[in-house]
Amino acid sequence: MQITFQQVEYRYSFNTPFEKLALQDINLSIPTGQFLAVIGHTGSGKSTLLQHLNGLLKPTEGLVQVGEHQIKAKQKAKSLKSVRQKVGIVFQFPEHQLFEETVLKDICYGPMNFGVSEEDAIRRAKELIVKVGLSEEVLNKSPFDLSGGQMRRVAIAGVLAMNPEVIVLDEPTAGLDPRGQREIMDMFYELHQEKGLTTILVTHSMEDAAHYAEEIVIMHKGRLKRKGSPEEIFSSADELFEMGLDVPDVVRFQYQFEHKSGKKLPKTCLTIEELASAIRTVSDGGEVL
Amino acid sequence: MKEIIKVDDVHFRYPDQNSFALEGISLTVNQGEWLAIVGHNGSGKSTLAKMLNGLHFPEKGRVTVDGIVLEESSIWDIRSKLGMVFQNPDNQFVGATVEDDVAFGLENHGVPYESMVQRVNDALKSVHMEDFLNQEPHHLSGGQKQRVAIAGVVALQPSIIILDEATSMLDPKGRKEVLETVRKLKEEENLTVISITHDLEEATKADRMIVLNQGMVFKEGTPEEIFLLEDELIKLGLDSPFTIKLAGALKEAGIPLSKTYFTEEELVNELCKSHFNR
Amino acid sequence: MMEKMIFGRYVPAKSILHQMDPRAKLLFIFGFICVVFLANNFVTYGLLGLFTFSALILSNLSLRFIIGGLKPILWLILFTFFLHVFFTKEGPVILDLGVLSVHEEGLRQGIFISLRFFYLILVTSLLTLTTSPITITDGLETLLNPLKKVKFPVHELALMMSISLRFIPTLMEETDKIMKAQIARGAEFSSGPIKDRIKAIIPLLIPLFVSAFKRAEDLATAMEARGYQGGEGRTKYRLLSWHKKDTGALVVLALLTVVLIIFRG
């Protein structure tokens, strides 16, 4: 299911003295099954952009096309419901949305809102609870008896249970310890590979963007500054530094190394292994081994 | 080095739990050092931090802060020597505005009005938030709120600051702001800093590290020593800093290095010197 | 419409009213509420109107803004007016509409009571418009201080109020976030039968409550860590200072009272 933004503009508090331009001139096309990372400062418009993906916000100008659905300024709420089933959003600190008496009921809340039968919802919950790294017995517990990390996984399962075609992740690893971060990101990547789920990741981690994304979009002051593959984007480290953004550790190291040694590496390295072997080749007088 | 905190075989359990959150912890903190306490979520690091401030009491064992033994009667004395910055920027912001929040601790300690105004202003200046006196918290970023919290702590002129995962809810910019602020204050005021974190990069800048695992001390040492345990750290739910991983990869690619631990700058220089004659 | 509503909102500006001590303003309001009932003829209501209007000017806030912000209240005032006009059956009939009739006294009462309502709303709005919530809390706390002698928990109440006020914007933001998260999971808050809409609030209320309790716990821990032990021995950072203009305001109130008594019917 393809997603397209056409000349999208969004203003907060439209037509009041507090009006603020949050997005302007957004033109973006996200093909089905892509893993896209959105990076940018707090306040760059990332979050506003996200909320247009499932119609939580409607553009004040322009058009957002999600599959066959069109989201425009005068859209009525009713027609947006089916978009919300197709585009699942995992907000930051999703554990804050848990409310049901049991984990099972909470996971079923989403799918049942969209007309899924209770049996089917329960079946999905049982599958997903294992998929997110928890055991089936957790299903009968109260979500509030779980640890923060467990609650987060339950919340993620609740969104996945809606069977969306697109999954949007707003800093899914915020506040987790290193192992938790790895496990959550690997899980989403696996889902992406297995089910061809279009995945849109908003993150501050340049490493995650470089590691998982096929395409990266940079948001800056409400505009879409640049779009390209991780290699393209991180090749212009200077531009990113100017915008006050960082680059992955590997890229930063390559940048410092090239400046100090005067030698240029054959390409922009995105992993530690690539970097190590690139440095090796350059130390042999530039012979590619 | 003078010992400023001593934790002696401390055991602690939460009221409704059977298992120990802290089991036989013994450690010391030296005056003027930056100590990082790391561990996976649930390892007991936050519990330990709260105990140092008298927010918990040991079931067994003893905690001594600057010569004062921790017990019900001494917590307020201890709390005047030890300030704490917590994880959630919103949930420790008491005042209606920035200056009100910094003044809160001073009011609690009965500081007379005349000195309060000066101390509030000085504290805010030291964290570069002096332009935000009248701002309300919902207009501030996470990093700014944490800096106000730090100002609130330093206004009371403690000798020890504990950062209880104070950067884990912040974005990279906020994290940098907070750590730089604390670093500067540590030098200016000769503070002892205990930073509870699972952020490895933050821990690399410490003088000394203690790794907790499941309520017990796993290992203690300098960052260099601790990071040598690459794989074990990963098994404990932590990670290894970038430079260690890169050094490992370089060695495998046929570029051995003379030392075992570097900062990024040191690693770049080492490579240029020994392999590129620059 | 919520954004235009001014009842209860604070608008910072530079004016005498803004600079006045909150205690003076609070005492003034209290006095004014009593004094308003002294008026009982066109002269006294007219004088009150003049007085209220002058107070509005003193606030240095745009009149259009204030009157515009009172529009929601206008309906209430109109309703009160018509209630009296049609249902106070005293005095000669001046208009006969068959089923309903308007008596002279009814019209008089209607006008007076609506005016009274209007003046009261205007003047109390002026209080909240020119005084920040935390300053009002401070004023209240200082005024009620003497009650400490009878073990009335003045400090605790004031602290509770100031913390609640501080968290209102934060909680509103959180409500927004939770609503969006649940809408993204298919919740519908603004359509469907009333019964459904009430049920739909649960996924909003429970997370809010849970988070509010967590906040309270964290906050209490932080307060303790910062040496909070209750009101004993605490000093105060926010000091209120009484000036000539504050005494002046109360003198003006006294004068108004005298004038109204003189011109009463």
> Which ipTM score applies to this complex?
0.91
**Residue A289: per-residue pLDDT:** 33
* Nearest CB to B276 within list A256, A261, A272: A261
Q: Model confidence over A59-107: pLDDT tens digits? A: 999 999 999 899 988 777 677 888 999 999 999 999 999 999 999 999 9
CB atoms within 10 A of CB C209: 11
Task: Please state, in angstroms and rounded to a whole number, the distance separating the CA atoms of residues C154 and C144.
Answer: 7
**Residue C6: per-residue pLDDT:** 59
Beta strands at B3-12 and B60-65: parallel, antiparallel or unpaired: antiparallel
Q: Which residues pair with A107 in a beta bridge?
A: none
Q: What's the gap in Å between the CA of B148 and the closest CA on chain C?
A: 13
Q: Model confidence over A140-159: pLDDT tens digits? A: 999 999 999 999 999 999 99
Task: Please state, in angstroms and rounded to a whole number, the distance separating the CA atoms of residues C183 and A114.
Answer: 11
pTM value is 0.89
Q: Are the beta carbons of A246 and B265 separated by less than 8 Å? A: no
Q: What's the gap in Å between the CA of C185 and the closest CA on chain A?
A: 5
Both structure tokens of C204:
């909003």
Both structure tokens of B187:
């030098």
pLDDT score of A220 more than 80: yes
Which of these ranges, A2-6, A58-62, A151-155, B197-201, has the smallest mean pLDDT?
Answer: B197-201
pLDDT > 70 in chain A, percent? 97
Closest listed residue to residue C207, CA positions, set A149, A52, B137, A155: A155
Q: Model confidence over B82-114: pLDDT tens digits? A: 999 999 999 999 999 999 999 999 999 999 999
**Residue C4: per-residue pLDDT:** 54
CB C189 within 8 A of CB C183: yes
pLDDT score of A287 more than 60: no
Which of these ranges, A85-99, A173-187, B220-234, B259-273, has the smallest mean pLDDT?
Answer: B259-273
| Alpha carbon separation from A86 to A55, A68, A92, A241, C146 (Å, rounded) | 11, 11, 19, 36, 63
Task: List helix spans (H) across chain A.
Answer: 46-52, 77-86, 103-113, 118-131, 148-160, 178-195, 206-212, 230-235, 237-242, 249-261, 272-283
Q: Can you tell me the mean pLDDT for B13-32?
A: 92
List, as ranges, residues 169-228 from B with C-beta within 8 Å of A. Answer: 169, 171-173, 198, 200
Closest listed residue to residue C256, CA positions, set C34, C63, C41: C34
**Residue C12: per-residue pLDDT:** 81
Residue B43 lies in a domain: yes
- Kindly tell me the burial class for residue B51, based on how many C-beta atoms sit within 10 Å of its own C-beta (0-12, 13-18, 19 or more): buried
**Residue A286: per-residue pLDDT:** 41
Task: Please state, in angstroms and rounded to a whole number, the distance separating the CA atoms of residues B45 and B31.
Answer: 20
Range of the domain at B43: 32-56+74-223
- Tokens 């200016």 belong to B188
Per-position DSSP letters for chain B, written without gaps between them: --EEEEEEEEEE--TT-SS-SEEEEEEEEETT-EEEEE--TTSSHHHHHHHHTTSS--SEEEEEETTEEPSGGGHHHHHHHEEEE-S-SGGG--SSSHHHHHHHHHHHTT--HHHHHHHHHHHHHHTT-GGGTT--GGGS-HHHHHHHHHHHHHTT--SEEEEESTTTTS-HHHHHHHHHHHHHHHHHHT-EEEEEES-HHHHHTSSEEEEEETTEEEEEE-HHHHHTTHHHHHHTT----HHHHHHHHHHHTT---SSS---HHHHHHHHHHHHH--
Q: Model confidence over B132-153: pLDDT tens digits? A: 999 999 999 999 999 999 999 9
For C6-165, list the strands marked E by DSSP: 93-97, 100-103
Q: Can you tell me the mean pLDDT for A246-258?
A: 91
* Nearest CB to C187 within list A13, A51, A113: A113
Residue B15, chain C, CB below 8 Å: the answer is no
Give the contacts of C100 (CB within 8 A, at least 6 positions apart). C86
Both structure tokens of C254:
């006294």
Phi/psi at A162 (5° precision)? -75, -5
Residue B275, chain A, CB below 8 Å: the answer is yes
**Rg value, chain C, Cα:** 24
Q: Can you tell me the mean pLDDT for B40-45?
A: 87
Report chain C (265 residues): mean pLDDT per 10 consecutive residues: 60 86 93 89 89 88 80 86 82 75 82 90 88 90 90 91 92 94 90 81 94 95 92 88 90 91 84
**Residue C192: per-residue pLDDT:** 75
* Nearest CB to C180 within list A16, A56, A88: A56
Q: Which residues of B touch A180 (CB under 8 A)?
A: 41, 237
Q: What's the gap in Å between the CA of C75 and the closest CA on chain A?
A: 23
Task: Please state, in angstroms and rounded to a whole number, the distance separating the CA atoms of residues B168 and B40.
Answer: 13
Q: Which residues pair with A30 in a beta bridge?
A: A3
Total domain count, chain B: 1
Residue B149: give its domain's CATH number: 3.40.50.300
pLDDT score of B129 more than 60: yes
Could you state, in order of their start, the residue ranges of all structural domains in chain C? 16-131+242-263, 153-225
Phi/psi at B2 (5° precision)? -80, 140
Interface-testing mutation among A261, A274, A282, A284, with chain B (most B C-beta atoms within 10 A): A261
Residue B132 lies in a domain: yes
**Residue A142: per-residue pLDDT:** 96
Phi/psi at C191 (5° precision)? -145, 170
Q: What's the gap in Å between the CA of B14 and the closest CA on chain A?
A: 14
Q: Model confidence over A188-200: pLDDT tens digits? A: 999 999 999 999 9
When the pLDDT of each residue in chain B is averaged and rounded to a whole number, the result is 91
Residue B158, chain C, CB below 8 Å: the answer is no
pLDDT score of A288 more than 50: no
Task: Please state, in angstroms and rounded to a whole number, the distance separating the CA atoms of residues C125 and C130.
Answer: 8
Q: Are the beta carbons of C229 and B76 separated by less than 8 Å? A: yes
Closest listed residue to residue B51, CA positions, set B61, B63, B60: B63
Q: Model confidence over B164-177: pLDDT tens digits? A: 999 999 999 999 99
pLDDT score of A128 more than 50: yes
Assign B199 a pLDDT band (cuts: 50, 70, 90): confident
Residue B3 lies in a domain: no
